[in-house]
Amino acid sequence: MSDRRIVVLCAIFIAMSGALSPAVAGQLADDTLPRPLPAAFGNLFAPPVQEPPVKFSLEQVSGGTSQVSNEPEHTGFGALLRSTGSDFVAFPKRKSTYVILAIGAGAAALAHPIDDNVNEYMLDHTSLRKVFKPGKYLGYAWVQGGAAVGLYLIGRYAMEPTEGTHTNKVSHLGFDLLRANLLTQAFTYGIKYAVRRDRPTGECCSFPSGHASVTFATASVLERHFGYRASWPMFVIAGYVSASRLTDNRHFVSDVVFGSALGIATGWTVVGRHGRENFTLFPAPVRGGVVLAGSWTPGGKSRGAN
C-alpha cells in the first residue's frame, strides 16, 4: 500500500468519524434553519416537481422526546444512578442508535479487508508513532472519567447553583459526561468480551476500540452543551485518539471505526433529551436513477446547560 493511499485513508477515517455524528451534521448549518445549498446543486437535491416529497419523520432520532429540557432538577448521586439506569433503558429504544451503529458497522466492514495492511504500514513508520503517541493517554478511560468526575465535583461542591435550581452548568456537564462514560464503557466491554477479536498483537480483546468509543462519547456530549462551533476541537481530538490506536498497534481500522460510532450513539443517548431535531428524507430523480436527499432542521438552538 503506497504512502499516498495511507495518508488519504487516515484523512478519510478522521473526517468520517466526525461525520458519523448526526448531531454534528445538524450544527453545520444555522442553529435554527438549514443553510441553503449552492445553486449548482439545486437541481440535484430538489424534490420532484410532479410529486410531493415522501417524508419520513424521525422525530425521535435525536431527542427521543418532543420536549426541550433545561438543566436537570437534581444532579446528586441518587439522580446520577437513576439517570444512568434510564440511559441503559433508552439506548436500545432510540432510532438513532440503530442508524448510527448501522453506519459504523458498514464502515467497519468496508475497512476490514485493509486492516492488516494499515497496521503493517504503521509499524514501519516511527515518525507517525511519535506524532500519535499522546493520543493513547488522552483516550484512557480514567482520563476521560477523571475529567468528568472533576467537573461534576467542582460544579456540585465548589460552585453556587443557578438561581431557582439545585444545579449549575458545570455540574450538569460533569453529570452528563459521567453518564456517557458509564454507558459507553459498559457497552464497549460487553461487545469486546462477546466478540473476543484478537488485537494485532494477538491478545484479547480488540473490537471495538474503547479509546475511540469514550472520546467520541465525550465529544457528542460537549457538542450538545456548547454547539458544534465550540466543540469541534473535541471531535478532532477524538479522531486523533482513534488514529493513535493504529500507530500503537493495539487496534485495527475496523475497531476504531465501529468504536467511534458506538461512542456517538451512547453519548447521544445521554444528551438526547436536551433538544429535538427533525430529519426528513425524500427521493429526488437524477440522471440514471433516484437519490435520497435529506434535510436536518434543529428544533431550536443547541441547549445543553442553559
Q: Name the residue ranges covered by the structural domains of the chain.
A: 3-13+77-298
* 115-123 and 3-19 helices, crossing angle to 10°: 120
pLDDT at 70: 54
Q: What is the pLDDT of residue 38?
A: 42
pLDDT of 34 reads 36
End-to-end CA distance of the chain: 49
- Number of C-beta neighbours around residue 239 at 10 A: 25
What's this model's pTM, rounded to 2 decimal places? 0.69
d(CA 86, CA 91): 9
Question: CB–CB of 259/210 below 8 Å?
Answer: yes
CB 262 within 8 A of CB 107: no
C-alpha span between 94 and 98 (Å, rounded): 7
Domain spanning 3-13+77-298 has what CATH number? 1.20.144
Q: Which residue bears the cell 516511527?
A: 126
Q: Is 279 exposed, middle or buried (0-12, 13-18, 19+ CB in 10 A)?
A: buried
pLDDT of 73: 67
Q: What is the structure's pLDDT at 219?
A: 95
- Give mean pLDDT in consecutive 10-residue pieces for the chain, a chain of 306 residues: 46 46 39 38 41 37 38 77 93 93 95 91 82 89 92 91 82 94 96 94 93 96 89 92 90 95 95 55 46 44 37
Task: Give the per-residue pLDDT at 29.
Answer: 30
Cβ–Cβ < 8 Å for 274, 303: yes
Cell numbers for 234, please give them. Answer: 473535541
